[in-house]
């Protein structure tokens, strides 16, 4: 059995480490956005992976790329403690 390290698997480990080391997370709302994008990526990857049509592979690959970029960006922003030009309503740094 060969294990391939896809972007979703690496991001899953990254978010699990952040969940364990919660003190590193400065913006929990961005952590939630990233974790939701990762969950949607894994869910839709399984749904589109079950189809045999070529369109499903194309749509699945595009959605995988989009969700991986969103999850990675949100995970990095969740740990960033500096000021940013983007903030969510009601957000306060811990």
Residues 28-86: pLDDT tens digits?
999 999 999 999 988 888 888 788 888 888 888 888 889 999 999 999 999 987 777 76
Q: Is the pLDDT of residue 2 over 90?
A: no
Q: Is the pLDDT of residue 1 over 60?
A: no
Place 20 in a pLDDT band, splitting at 50, 70 and 90: very high
CA gap 43, 52 in Å, rounded: 17
Within the chain, residue ranges assigned H as helices are 7-20, 28-49, 54-79
CA-closest candidate to residue 17, choices 64, 57, 75, 61: 75
Residue found by looking up tokens 């979703």 in the block: 8
Which pLDDT score is estimated for 5? 66
- Please, are residues 42 and 67 in contact by the beta-carbon 8 Å criterion? no
CA gap 64, 39 in Å, rounded: 11
Which pLDDT score is estimated for 94? 57
Which pLDDT score is estimated for 9? 84
Which pLDDT score is estimated for 93? 61
Which pLDDT score is estimated for 32? 94
Q: What is the largest CA-CA distance in the chain?
A: 47
């Amino acid at each position: 059995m060969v294990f391939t390290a896809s972007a979703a698997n690496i991001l899953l480990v990254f978010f699990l480490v952040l969940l364990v080391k919660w003190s590193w997370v400065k913006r929990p709302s961005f952590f939630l956005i990233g974790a939701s994008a990762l969950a949607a990526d894994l869910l839709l990857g399984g749904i589109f992976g079950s189809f045999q049509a070529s369109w499903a592979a194309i749509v699945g690959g595009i959605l995988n790329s989009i969700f991986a970029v969103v999850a990675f960006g949100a995970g990095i922003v969740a740990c960033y403690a500096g000021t940013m030009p983007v903030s969510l309503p009601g957000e306060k740094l811990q």
